[in-house]
Homo-oligomer: A and B are copies of this chain.
Amino acid sequence: MDKSQIAQKLSGFYMFSELQPSQIELLANGTRLVDIPRGGRLFNRGDKAHGFYLLLEGQIKLGVISPQGDEKVIGLIQPGESFGEAVLFLERSFPVYAQTTLDSKVLLITREAIFDILDNDVTVVRRMLAAISARNRQLVNDIESISLQNSTQRLIGYLLQISADSPNPERVQLPANKLTIASMLNLTPETLSRVMLRLSNAGLIEVNGKEIVITNVAGLRNFE
Contact = CB atoms under 8 A, between A and B. Distances in A.
Interface stretch (A8-16, A85-93, A172-180): A85-93
Interface residues of A, number: 40
Contacts of A87: 133, 137
A159 to B, nearest CB: 18
Given A64-B148, A85-B133, A90-B137, 10 more contacts: A64-B144, A86-B132, A86-B136, A87-B133, A87-B137, A89-B129, A95-B137, A129-B129, A135-B136, A142-B143
Contacts of A140: 64, 74, 95-96, 139
A132 B136 contact: yes
Contacts of A208: none
Number of this chain's copies in the assembly equals 2
B132 A143 contact: no
Contact of A133 (B90, B142, B148): B90
